[in-house]
Amino acid sequence: MKIVTDERCTGYDYPGHPERPERIGLTVEKLRAQTELPIEWASPGPAQDREILRAHTPEHLGRLDEPRDFDLDTPFFPGISGYARASVGAALEALRSARSGQVAFSLMRPPGHHAMRARAMGFCYLNNVAIAVLAALADGCKRVAVYDFDVHHGNGTEAILLNKPGAALFSIHQYPCYPGTGTRNLGKNCFNYPVPPETARIEYRHVLASALEQLKAFKPDLVAVSAGFDCYNHDPLAQMTLEAEDFYWLGQSFHHLGVPVFSALEGGYSRELPDLILAFLKGLDGQ
């Protein structure tokens, strides 16, 4: 199991904002302290402009250096473009690891799945997973599927990958909820599974499982996971019902797919986030 992280990603902070540096810091502590899961630590690789520009406009990339907030959820921070690039670099490193046969998880912030081609939103500045998927397709992968189990719709990933040959998105999310999209399938390749708030855990598991069956039917040669742990029962930002063992089950399900898989952290704002991530990783590792 390779974990790609960089302690510098905890260097920006907005007091009271749910997307806080402790999310990563406490998870790194937890993973370093445990002994059940052998971990190889890695740093993010570089993220080249040409890779980012497959998913984003040059204007958007330039905008990240302009010191103005993007929206109410998504403040400007000094150096945010560097943080966002490092998070992209970690997703790309996780992708490379997966393609060379290692299971990899990018444990970074900022998250990415709300970032649109020309707009930062929802705590996201650059779309880490979409950039990695486009890199994989440019580098010989034929069919790449994204499975997004963050409780919020992966609207940015959807907008960037819509009708992109070789790509498919399966997003399972709470609706109604931020950002208010993802109520129906879009184009030829974006499949949405909206689930009402407070849906019973067992029913939510059924929806996750049926999305997984559809992902298998797509016959991907690579799977990218937008791993958001805010569908957890006690997450403060949503009203879903999953428990730690469900994240273990999700990890196990990806382990059994039999194709290279890499994951990148999206949301997850509860105190138990480190335990949820460890459960997911154990499943991914086939434990």
Q: Total binding residues for Zn ion by CB under 5 A?
A: 5
Q: Does 230 contact Zn ion by CB under 5 A? A: yes
Closer CB to Zn ion, 182 or 283, in the complex: 182
Q: Provide the pairing of β-strand 190-195 with 40-42.
A: unpaired
User: Helices 128-138 and 80-99, interaxial angle, to 10°?
Assistant: 40
Closer CB to Zn ion, 166 or 175, in the complex: 175
Give the count of beta carbons closer than 10 Å to the beta carbon of residue 205.
Answer: 16
Scanning 161-169, 197-205, 228-236, 252-260 for contacts with Zn ion by CB under 5 A, the matching segment is 228-236
Name every residue whose Cβ is closer than 8 Å to that of residue 86 and which is 6 or more positions away in sequence.
6, 8, 9, 44, 47, 108
Scanning 128-136, 152-160, 167-175, 219-227 for contacts with Zn ion by CB under 5 A, the matching segment is 152-160
Cβ at position 180, least distance to Zn ion in Å: 13
Query: Could you identify the residue written with the tokens 């399972």?
Result: 172
Q: Would you say 121 and 71 are in contact if contact means Cβ atoms under 8 Å apart?
A: yes
Cβ at position 152, least distance to Zn ion in Å: 4
Closer CB to Zn ion, 97 or 270, in the complex: 270
- Give the active site residue among 113, 114, 152, 173: 114
Q: Does 19 contact Zn ion by CB under 5 A? A: no
Strands (E), 129-221: 144-148, 167-174, 190-195
Cβ at position 181, least distance to Zn ion in Å: 13
Closer CB to Zn ion, 73 or 230, in the complex: 230
Distances (CA, A) of 213 to 77, 129, 202, 219, 220: 40, 21, 17, 10, 12
Cβ at position 287, least distance to Zn ion in Å: 26
C-alpha 133/C-alpha 142 separation (Å) is 11
C-alpha 201/C-alpha 247 separation (Å) is 12
Q: Would you say 278 and 268 are in contact if contact means Cβ atoms under 8 Å apart?
A: no
Distances (CA, A) of 39 to 67, 101, 111, 168: 38, 15, 22, 30
Residue nearest to Zn ion (CB): 267
Q: Does 73 contact Zn ion by CB under 5 A? A: no
Neighbour-count burial of 233, counting CB atoms closer than 10 A to its CB (0-12 exposed, 13-18 middle, 19+ buried): middle
Q: Does 110 contact Zn ion by CB under 5 A? A: no
Scanning 7-15, 72-80, 145-153, 211-219 for contacts with Zn ion by CB under 5 A, the matching segment is 145-153
Q: Does 267 contact Zn ion by CB under 5 A? A: yes
113 given a catalytic annotation: no
Among 73, 148, 150, 158, indicate the residue that binds Zn ion (CB under 5 A). 150
Among 228, 251, 260, 274, indicate the residue that binds Zn ion (CB under 5 A). 228
Among 96, 152, 164, 282, indicate the residue that binds Zn ion (CB under 5 A). 152
Closer CB to Zn ion, 228 or 274, in the complex: 228
Note the residues at the interface with Zn ion (CB under 5 A).
150, 152, 228, 230, 267
Catalytically annotated residues: 114
